[in-house]
């Protein structure tokens, strides 16, 4: 697919990647004396620490296979990173030449895209979501890319953080088709399993400039182990492998990820997602009855975005009760983001809201 290769920074495409001991040569020796590892187990030892003195597999084949089954894409379309954050960073570094190329974002949206661009020295073009519906303005995004041919990446967050809604599938696909050969459309699907909608990953075959970013952080309870999954055309995967850190995943992360996406792990994860979805709708209904809550739209994610008269006051009052919320009023007027917790955490949240409501 030379039309996607042409978008990659030429020096990155040409570069010879660093090859680590765990990539070079046969990996099935009896005695490993090739990586200057310490042959003794770390302190204090014990079964949980088994193998920690060894470097991990950079892209564990068994995990790639499992993710390819889970997301129903060919294994050549899967890349693993230290969280989706790292995937975003690598994509910006692979495609954007510092001082020349740019990314396009659709505010209000996740802030990390912009941060990664700033670190790389890439410009940031902003095309706001349609006010009210928070949907993509496809024509405006395409027009912005027409006006600035050096925009290499368009970030689309669906379900969008913080606005909670999925972007219409047909819009994202039309955008990818319009920008083919010109820019890569990166769809951040960190919350898609909470939406009940299908992922766009299976469209990569028809849209080589589509990249889908997933993670185990929000859907499979593994934020602490850092596991991001990038699903993309094999050429893009090849480029990411060229610039990835030598060992993106720790030995303990690989173990935890393997358990989380085992058949039992997936069943457990899906049960929790269903519980959170049920709680989301219960919490939303309860919040929307409170006079201090101006509105709280239906959510496709595991969080709600409510609007209130005094977002700072609300967050402070909740903090005083030991409940931490996220003030998002700097990007959306009056907005406060509330993650869905366990039923008892949500009950506490609702009690604290009622208290706040009765005194305001």
Ligand X SMILES: *Cc1c(COP(=O)(O)O)cnc(C)c1O
Question: Within positions 220 to 259, which residues make up the interface with ligand X, using CB under 6 A?
Answer: 223, 228
Q: Which stretch binds ligand X (CB under 6 A): 146-154, 200-208, 217-225, 350-358?
A: 217-225
Mask: binding to ligand X, 13-42, rule CB under 6 A, as x and -? ------------------------------
Q: Taking CB under 6 A as the rule, which mask of x and - marks residues 159-178 in contact with ligand X?
A: --x-----------------
Residue nearest to ligand X (CB): 83
C-alpha angle 280-284-288 in degrees, rounded to nearest 5: 175
Select 217 or 292, whichever has its Cβ closest to ligand X. 217
Asked if 59 is part of the footprint of ligand X (rule: CB under 6 A), the reply reads no
* Shortest reach from residue 195's CB to ligand X, in Å: 13
Helix (H) or strand (E) holding 339: strand 335-339
CA gap 289, 63 in Å, rounded: 45
CB of 41 or CB of 245, closer to ligand X: 245
Q: How far is the CB of 160 from ligand X (least distance, A)?
A: 8
Q: What is the DSSP string of 158-219?
A: SSPTTT-PPPPHHHHHHHHHHHTTT-EEEEE-TTGGGTTPPPSGGGTTT-TTEEEEEESTTT
Q: Which is nearer to ligand X, 83 or 269 (CB)?
A: 83
For the chain, report the end-to-end CA distance as a whole number of angstroms. 60
List the Cα angle 141/214/68 in 5-degree steps. 120
User: How far is Cα 247 from Cα 253, in angstroms, rounded to an integer?
Assistant: 11
Any contact of residue 300 with ligand X (CB under 6 A)?
A: no
Residue 103 or 352 with smaller CB distance to ligand X = 103
Name 252's Cβ contacts closer than 8 Å, sequence gap at least 6: 52, 225
Q: Can you read off the two tokens belonging to residue 128?
A: 């706001």
335-339 and 303-308 strand pairing: antiparallel
Examine residue 338 and tell whether it contacts ligand X (CB under 6 A).
no
Stretch that binds ligand X, among 79-87, 147-155, 165-173, 274-282 (CB under 6 A): 79-87
Q: Site map for ligand X, 92-131, x if CB under 6 A?
A: ------------------x-x-------------------
Radius of gyration of the chain (CA): 22
The phi, psi pair for 68, rounded to 5°, reads -65, -35
Q: β-pairing, 293-295 with 303-308?
A: antiparallel
Closest separation between CB of residue 33 and ligand X, Å? 35
In angstroms, the CA 318 to CA 346 distance is: 13
Q: How far is the CB of 86 from ligand X (least distance, A)?
A: 7
Which x/- pattern, by CB under 6 A, does the window 187-206 give for ligand X? -x-x----------------
Rounded to a whole number of angstroms, the minimum distance from the CB of residue 83 to ligand X is 3
Give the range of 139-147, 213-221, 235-243, 288-296 binding ligand X by CB under 6 A.
Answer: 213-221
CA 21 to chain CA centroid, Å, is 29
Residue written as tokens 């570094």? 93
85 binds ligand X (CB under 6 A): yes
Among 164, 165, 195, 217, which residue interacts with ligand X (rule: CB under 6 A)? 217
User: Do the beta carbons of residue 182 and residue 153 sit within 8 Å?
Assistant: no
Q: Which residues bind ligand X (CB under 6 A)?
A: 83-85, 110, 112, 157, 161, 188, 190, 215, 217-218, 223, 228
């Amino acid at each position: 697919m030379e039309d996607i290769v042409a978008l990659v920074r030429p020096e990155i495409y040409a570069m010879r990647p660093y090859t680590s001991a765990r990539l070079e040569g046969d990996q099935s020796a009896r005695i490993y004396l090739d990586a200057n590892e310490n042959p003794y187990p770390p302190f204090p030892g014990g079964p949980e620490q088994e193998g920690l003195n060894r470097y991990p597999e950079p892209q564990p084949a068994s995990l790639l296979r499992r993710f390819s089954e889970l997301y129903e894409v060919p294994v050549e379309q899967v890349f693993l990173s230290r969280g989706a954050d790292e995937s975003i960073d690598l994509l910006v570094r692979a495609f954007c030449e510092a001082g020349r190329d740019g990314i396009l974002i659709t505010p209000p949206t996740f802030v990390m895209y912009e941060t990664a661009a700033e670190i790389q020295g890439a410009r940031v073009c902003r095309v706001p979501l349609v006010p009210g519906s928070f949907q993509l303005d496809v024509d405006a995004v395409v027009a912005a890319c027409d006006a600035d041919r050096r925009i290499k990446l368009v970030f689309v967050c669906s379900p969008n953080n913080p606005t909670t809604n999925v972007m219409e599938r047909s819009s994202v696909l039309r955008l990818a088709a319009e920008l083919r050969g010109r820019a890569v459309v990166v769809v951040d699907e960190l919350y898609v399993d909470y939406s009940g909608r299908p992922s766009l990953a299976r469209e990569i075959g028809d849209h080589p400039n589509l990249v889908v970013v997933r993670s185990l952080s929000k859907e499979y309870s593994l934020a602490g182990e850092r596991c991001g999954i990038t699903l993309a055309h094999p050429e893009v995967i090849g480029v990411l492998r060229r610039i990835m850190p030598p060992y993106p995943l720790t030995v303990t992360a690989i173990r935890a990820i393997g358990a989380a996406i085992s058949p039992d792990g997936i069943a457990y994860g899906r049960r929790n997602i269903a519980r959170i979805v049920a709680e989301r709708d219960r919490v939303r209904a309860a919040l929307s009855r409170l006079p201090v809550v101006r509105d709280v739209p239906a959510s496709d994610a595991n969080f709600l975005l409510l609007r209130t008269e005094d977002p700072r006051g609300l967050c402070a009052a909740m903090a005083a009760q030991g409940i931490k919320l996220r003030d998002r009023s700097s990007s959306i007027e009056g907005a406060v983001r509330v993650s869905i917790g366990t039923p008892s955490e949500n009950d506490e949240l609702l009690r604290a809201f009622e208290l706040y409501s009765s005194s305001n």
